[in-house]
Amino acid sequence: MAATGNTPSKTDDQVGLKDRIVSAIIIGIIRVLTLLPYKTRVPVSGWVLSRIVGPLIGYRKRVRDNLSRIFPEMSPAEKERLARAVPDHIGRTLAELFSPKDLIRTAAQTPVTGAGIDAVDSARDVGRPIILVSGHFGNYDIARSVLIQRGHKVGGLYRAMNYRGFNEFYVSRISQVGTPLFLRGRRGMGEMVKFLKAGNAIALLIDQHMAAGAPLKFFGHTAYTALSAAELALRYDALLVPCYGVRQPDGLSFEMVLEAPVPHTTPEEMTQALNDSLEAQVRAHMAQWLWVHRRWKPLGADI
């Protein structure tokens, strides 16, 4: 296994029954769907999560609740459309993440656009550290694979799944796209920093609620956001680059967008710029963000 850091703290016996059932269902569906050709597997996975699994585990309600909070003027019909489209996108993304060989082939055919291309390639050539920042938007592993195939050494930070059985299944798949992978935690962070300081690139997602984060804005609402990406960029003079794998209308292909590097100012200003960048991408492609996130929890909330 390629990941580093501590193993998940919960065994199959310790985790809640609901999480175990949901994870078992997802693993079972993934294993069955792998029998299908990739171009069939991806849309079928989207349909299954949107029409069967999503409603059972409350995804549609959570999407509608978040949309009502952020877009109170949105019509019920549009909320319902997104309540189906968002789980469909999640299902497609899961199918892609658990099909690493096909994902790598897709990445090889993915065009790269954006104002940050030259800066990122120049940093690679001179050994300057690079911090690539995205969110749970599009397919973030497409971007990692594209850069690896362009000659970058890219490490990824990931969060362990709720229990060991599913986590091992998950990591065994994403590690095939590229290594090293660093498990969030003291040891994993230390190894990630060492890798970054050596002049490599790391890929981070910054759109999860962090109780110890800064009270920044995301869609006009307070969203507690980790400052660590910006702090690392300042500490090690790393390029800080918003990066996105944007799903295309055919549902199977992508465009990788490397935006212009964020100027070095203060951690708060830099991280707000990252939030603003992600928000702009989400507004342009509403179904491609994880609207099931509890992104706008109040300070101190952990549920």
Length of the chain as a residue count: 303
Question: Is residue 298 one of the residues assigned to a domain?
Answer: no
How many domains does the chain divide into?
A: 1
Residue 59 lies in a domain: yes
Cα separations (Å) of 204 from 55, 143, 230? 30, 11, 11
Q: Over the chain, what is the mean pLDDT?
A: 89
pTM: 0.88
Q: What is the mean pLDDT of residues 195-206?
A: 95
- Answer whether residue 293 is part of any domain: no
Whether 299 is covered by a domain: the verdict is no
Please give the pLDDT value at position 33: 85
For every residue of 16-37, which 3-state class applies, written as one string?
CHHHHHHHHHHHHHHHHHCCCC
DSSP strand pairing (221-225 vs 214-218):
antiparallel
Residue 142 included in any domain:
yes
**Does pLDDT of 19 surpass 90?**
no
According to the model, what pLDDT value does residue 273 have? 98
Instruction: Say how many C-beta atoms besides its own lie within 10 A of residue 177's C-beta.
Output: 22
Residue at 295 is within a domain: no
Tens digit of each residue's pLDDT (9 = 90 or more) over 106-148: 999 999 999 999 999 999 999 999 999 999 999 999 999 999 9
**Residues 244-284 pLDDT 10s:** 999 999 999 999 999 999 999 999 999 999 999 999 999 99
DSSP tally for the chain: helices H, then strands E: 12, 10
Whether 303 maps to a domain, the answer reads: no
Decide if 297 is inside a domain.
Answer: no
Dig out the tokens for 100 from the structure: 């690493």
Percentage of residues in the chain having pLDDT higher than 70: 89
- Give the model confidence (pLDDT) of 59-99 as tens digits: 999 999 999 999 999 999 999 999 999 999 999 998 999 89
Q: Give the three-class secondary structure for 240.
A: strand
d(CA 280, CA 303): 27
pLDDT of residue 164: 66
Q: Cis omega (within 30 of 0) on the bond before 180?
A: yes
Task: State the residue range of the domain holding 142.
Answer: 3-288
